[in-house]
Amino acid sequence: MKPKALVLQARGSNRDLDVMDALTLAGADAVGIPLNDLRNRKTLLSDFQLLVVPGGFSYADALGAGKLLALDLASYFVDEISAFVHAGKPVIGICNGFQALVKSGILPGDSSAGQSTLTFNAQGHFECRWVHLRPVSRNCIWTKGLEEIITCPIAHGEGNFQSLGSLAPEQIAISYVHMDGSSANGEYPANPNGSMLDIAGICNPQGNVLGLMPHPENHIHTWQHPRHTRGETGGSGLKLFENGVKYAGDL
Amino acid sequence: MSIYKFLVFNNNDPRMTGYLTDAQALGFQHLQGLMVHDLYYIEGQLSQEGLQQLALKLLTDPVTQSIKWIELPGTLASDSPGADAVLLEVALRPGVTDPVAEQIVRAAYEIGIDGVWRAATAQRFVLKFNEPAEQPAVDQIVKNLLANPVIQHWAMGEIIPSFPQEAESSGTVEILPIRSLDQEELLALSRERRAALDLAEMQAVQNYFLKEQRDPTDVEFETIAQTWSEHCVHKTFKARITRDDGQVIDSLIKTYLKSATDKINAPWVISAFVDNAGIIDFDDEFEISFKAETHNHPSAVEPFGGANTGVGGVIRDILGVSAKPIANTDVLCFGSQDLDPNSLPEGVLHPRRIQSGVVAGVQDYGNKIGIPTVNGAILYDEGYTANPLVFCGCVGIAPKGRHHKDPQARDRVAVLGGRTGRDGLRGATFSSMTMDAQTGEVSGASVQIGDPITEKGLIDVIVRARDLGLYNDITDCGAGGLSSAVGEMASSIGCDVDLARVRLKYPGLAPWEIWLSEAQERMVLAVPPEHYPALQELCDTFDTELTYIGEFTGDGRLVVRYGESVVVDMDNEFLHEGIPQRQLKAVIEKVSFKSRAFDIENSNIRDRLLALLSSPNIASKAPVIRLYDHEIQGGTVVKPLTGVEADAPSDAAVIKPMGTKGLKGIVLSNGINPEYGKRDAYQMAWSVMDEAVRNAVAVGADPDRIAVLDNFCWGDPLRPETLGSLVEACRGCHDASLFYGTPFISGKDSLNNEYLGADGQRHAIPPTLLISAIGVIQDVNQAVTMDLKKANNLIYLAGEFLPGSEGVVPIVPASTPGVYRAMHQAIKSGLVKSVHDLSEGGLAVTAAEMCLGGRLGMKVNSEASILFSEVNGCFLVEVAPGKASAFEAQFDGLPICKIGKVIPDPILRISNLDIPLVDLFQAFNNPLHL
């Protein structure tokens, strides 16, 4: 049976359908669930094997990107989400979803809660461009076994990851790199937002919760690749979802 | 009740750099440093613990910000501002939408902090000067850089905030004694109420009420003014026009635009000119819709809000045909960015400020609502200094046969979405008048600010309600607000609505203001009573408000109440058909503006090319394009920027809509050329039609499946010469439309784009026609981009090279449709590696851009004299040597010639002159006036 994936639709989520497309292609039964349906218990999170907090501008980024959605998660669903995480089920937060996971303390998910954030891009503005990513964590169930560079777009204004705490190396799940795979070394635009250690995504210590700023869900077909007319083949974002869906299916 | 003030410091605030750069560019050399702090005011009763929770959990990011607070009255110092620093605070004016404040109240309640009653936001600026600052200098900086007096107020030192009030209407209705007025008084009434109605129209109103034997209420008069505004009824385009040669044109729309569509009679056009957007066939399952509108006047006054709501407005047009919005386009025209601030007409914002505000407005709305911005243009001309143009387009997709426009008696009149305030009051008539130095102040209280997240809720609800068949009719609230939306829906059936039921943002609105308000993010639906509960449930799920304000009646009358009293009771036929046809005169002039002349010499090819590449109209727009999300919804196949490093300009966008089967895609492109508009409006129309079609064909669109939209932005049509060029442009549209077989499916006009300066001079825009094209490509994998692909490939010039002589607009060669069909076949057959059209700057610029895209060189064998000539109907095409004969065969009997080849060295070699790629790159990326 296909694992059931819940894509959380908050007020202002807008890449929900994009990630549902990717999950479906990766073999999941993806369902978009409005936050109010979860809140009213019309739908139960425990009925699902995989949770996605998708990209968007929840609450219009008022008071900081992801901040108010994080408060929603922390005040309405704290028990359900921690049960989900503790059960080892895969969770992914993309872009605004990543911001919400960090600001709610679900990520990094270690003792350093409240010491990490995603703040304004070093360039000072929103930016949409394609980036190259290296999946680095061998501990994260989403990136484990991925060897190839993932190419996909970013589209954010507050993606600059900063932490006052010390992040365990295996919690750095995905890094920005140059096109040839060499380290971005903080250089713009390979590192598009000034994130420390070129961090594009992090995971919790258990490795089942991943948050990342870029949008692998927008690179699941060859024709999405910016150089497909130059003969480059694409779809490299799909593997990440295949990993997560397979893991959910094996649970 | 206490008021608490919170001051938030950012450790590292990227906003500072932006402000300082702008300050330098605007000539404020004495400003040395600037800090921005966020201010929040909370009215309520809070314990120390509550204040602390609010500060730390809600108002700050503990990693990057610090906060302090105080109960007012009292002062809050900034940390170490320095003795000579100037401190000022900027807050929103009362009534201006403050979404963050709303969220503070909501979130505080949700996380269990009791006692937060109301909230307001503001900003504190700490300015440092390198010499003591005088008050007037600080005022200048605030007015030009930090605040817009239209929506904000400021104070040196600390400011007193204003809070939103409880909402209740004033209920005041006036009777306007129109029956007793003479001609002078009728015109005076029109002016006083900013109705923009002429004498004949005022007399028609007077006659109607003489017949009714009563005087109108203010609500009725305002309803007529809006319904009959240029914006809503297009009276210039429907006027009876007499040309100076005696020829009479009965309606430009009928004679030129609609008639072209009727003559072409394309079977794939589903709806043209009748609905909120034009609709064409896509595949067996889906139809696609397209609409473009302008939001010029609001953007001149408040650039961010104006552009923001321009985007929001056109998205609602797409929702108005029950379609899901899937792509945005934007074409922007500004004055010169390095204009001397001292030469600005009074009351006009600096073009730099207008551009940054407009771009931020487009970015904010499109990105937040989740629609990719995939195609557009930015043009500069001094004629746009006081009247910037902001064209917003939107594409939608819908399953066939689900959109209905058929309200039934007893259906409920339901307002969906945002609440009603004074936003955009009289916007339709405002946009129909010439602006002056006072316009900003007069209309300031009514400026529109968008709320894309609320509109996202509209999309979520409408798409589902459509699939469930919950409504019989739908339209958007745009110019004219409810009066226009409800009025149009009820125009044949009639309705009875109660304005006291409309939900308000704040108190004190008179009934006419409620009825006319252009508050954003609202749609009106005709909902059968039995479906109302299901629609309500959908709305609750998506946090979207639904308000039942009345019913459709079936008696053909427009009845509007405010509680017990009837404030409008008019015959719908009079309202919608009673406007007298305007009688206008047109004088056709050949050249209405002085054209710019070029001096072409062999020796200055290099300088000339580099100058063109770095000129504002041609140089890279990448810094702006990257502010827009062009990837969301996952369908962007040909992106706005393309090539090896994604920094070269695409000819058109290709999108593959999510959820459709197969590999069919949509192609979007545009054509616009104000420079040609100044010279010859008729040929300009041909040229921009050609440009739009040519760009679409260049990425792979089928030239026999392209539809277009028209957007005319002109000056005052009552001046016969101005109307003359408009007539000629329409005639050009008609002729070119038939020539290509590309029907118009929708259009819009924005007239009176003039500014009456305090100097008594009129500042008019160049005659500007935007053609937006929508086409279809059978397989998105066949799409072609403009970047050179491989060394040793051959370069062809396809199309007949017919430059205009100096100052004359080039004509469209007769062979052009044949060339486009051949090009399309060649692309479909995989014979084309890259193709780029010849447009502004001519062949040399086209070649340079292709080199930049592919990071390869090109050798071009061409005479120097034609390098920079602008032509229509031509492309440069890259073809692999092995495919050369097949490619040539495709063009049998058509004008093509082999003109060069791709070379591995990073050099553009023209007429034995080598221009290194790095120089082209430098010139092209000389950032937009920064």
Res B619 pLDDT > 70 = yes
Structure tokens at B177: 């004694």
A186 closest CA partner among B116, A178, B8? A178
On whether residue B754 sits in a domain, the answer given is: no
Cβ of A119 within 8 Å of Cβ of B630? The answer is no
pLDDT, greater one: A192 or B134: A192
Position B592 scores a pLDDT of 46
Structure tokens at B134: 């005088």
- Per-residue model confidence as pLDDT tens digits over B51-61: 999 999 999 99
| B601-630 residues touching A, CB cutoff 8 A | 626-630
- Show residues of chain A in contact with B784, CB under 8 Å: 229
Cβ of A60 within 8 Å of Cβ of B453? The answer is yes
- Per-residue model confidence as pLDDT tens digits over B306-364: 999 999 999 999 999 999 999 999 999 999 998 888 888 877 889 999 999 999 999 99
Res B593 pLDDT > 70 = no
What is the domain-level CATH number for residue B143?
3.30.1280.10
B268-306 per-residue burial string, b: 16 or more CB within 10 A, e: under 16: ebbbbbebbbbbbbbeeebbbbbbbbbbbbbbbbbbbbb
Answer whether A14 touches B (CB < 8 Å): yes
**pLDDT average, residue stretch A183-209:** 97
Structure tokens at B378: 């930015």
Active site residue B295: yes
Residue % of chain B over a pLDDT of 70: 95
Res B849 pLDDT > 60 = yes
Domain count, chain A: 1
Say how many C-beta atoms besides its own lie within 10 A of residue B591's C-beta. Answer: 11
Answer whether A180 touches B (CB < 8 Å): no
Q: Which of B156, B174, B205 delimits the end of a domain?
A: B156
Position B604 scores a pLDDT of 86
- Per-residue model confidence as pLDDT tens digits over B501-518: 999 887 778 899 899 888
ipTM greater than 0.90: yes
Position B233 scores a pLDDT of 86
Position A152 scores a pLDDT of 98
Chain A interface mutation, best of B21, B34, B56, B63, highest count of A Cβ atoms under 10 Å: B63
The helix-helix angle for B917-924 and B842-854 (nearest 10°) equals 100
**pLDDT average, residue stretch B702-715:** 97
Q: Which domain holds residue A214?
A: 4-250
- Per-residue model confidence as pLDDT tens digits over B722-747: 999 999 999 999 999 999 999 999 99
Res B434 pLDDT > 90 = no
CA-to-CA separations, A222 to B637, B661, B666, in angstroms, rounded:
9, 16, 17
H or E segment to which residue B922 belongs: helix B917-924
What is the domain-level CATH number for residue A23?
3.40.50.880
B780 closest CA partner among B651, B639, B637? B637
Cβ of B58 within 8 Å of Cβ of A63? The answer is yes
Q: Could you say which DSSP state residue A169 is in?
A: G
Position B877 scores a pLDDT of 98
Q: Could you say which DSSP state residue B480 is in?
A: T
- Show residues of chain A in contact with B627, CB under 8 Å: 125-128
3-state DSSP call for residue A200?
A: strand
Domain count, chain B: 2
Q: State whether the Cα torsion B824-B825-B830-B833 is positive or negative.
A: negative
Which amino acid is residue B663, in one-letter code? L
Cβ of A226 within 8 Å of Cβ of B543? The answer is no
On whether residue B912 sits in a domain, the answer given is: yes
What is the domain-level CATH number for residue B912?
3.90.650.10
Answer whether A158 touches B (CB < 8 Å): no
Sheet holding B754-756, edge to edge: B435-436, B754-756, B762-764
Active site residue A128: no
Cβ of A14 within 8 Å of Cβ of B370? The answer is yes
Answer whether B328 touches A (CB < 8 Å): no
Answer whether B56 touches A (CB < 8 Å): no
Answer whether B542 touches A (CB < 8 Å): yes
Res A166 pLDDT > 90 = no
End-to-end CA distance of chain B: 48
- Show residues of chain B in contact with A224, CB under 8 Å: 631, 634, 636-637
On whether residue B43 sits in a domain, the answer given is: yes
Residue of B nearest to A165 (CA): B63
Cβ of B627 within 8 Å of Cβ of A121? The answer is no
B321 close to B314: Cβ distance less than 8 angstroms: no
3-state DSSP call for residue B279?
A: strand
pLDDT, greater one: B95 or A143: A143
Q: Which domain holds residue B31?
A: 2-156
Q: What is the 3-state secondary structure (H, E, C) of B303-365?
A: HHHHHHHHHHHHHHHHHCCCCEEEEEEEEEEECCCCCCHHHCCCCCCCHHHHHHHHHHHHHHH
- Show residues of chain B in contact with A100, CB under 8 Å: none
On whether residue B294 sits in a domain, the answer given is: no
Answer whether B706 touches A (CB < 8 Å): no
Q: Which of B156, B190, B218 delimits the end of a domain?
A: B156
- Per-residue model confidence as pLDDT tens digits over B227-280: 898 888 889 999 999 999 999 999 999 999 999 999 999 999 999 999 999 999
Position B442 scores a pLDDT of 41
Answer whether A165 touches B (CB < 8 Å): no
Candidates B37, B295, B297, B734; catalytic one: B295
Res A18 pLDDT > 80 = yes
* Confidence class for position B805, pLDDT limits 50, 70, 90: confident
Distance in angstroms (rounded) separating the CA atoms of residues B637 and B623: 20
Position B443 scores a pLDDT of 44
Structure tokens at B791: 């060394």
* Confidence class for position B166, pLDDT limits 50, 70, 90: low
Structure tokens at B118: 């109301």
Res A251 pLDDT > 80 = yes
Distance in angstroms (rounded) separating the CA atoms of residues B898 and B883: 13
Chain A interface mutation, best of B21, B53, B367, B373, highest count of A Cβ atoms under 10 Å: B367
Q: Could you say which DSSP state residue B885 is in?
A: H
**pLDDT average, residue stretch B516-542:** 95
Res B684 pLDDT > 70 = yes
Which amino acid is residue A164, in one-letter code? L
Bridge partner residues of B119 (DSSP)? B42
* Confidence class for position B12, pLDDT limits 50, 70, 90: confident
Position B168 scores a pLDDT of 63
3-state DSSP call for residue B513?
A: helix
Within 13 Å and on the Cβ side, how many CA atoms surround A186? 5
* Confidence class for position B606, pLDDT limits 50, 70, 90: very high
Of B70-84, B92-106, B203-217, B763-777, the range with the lowest mean pLDDT is B70-84
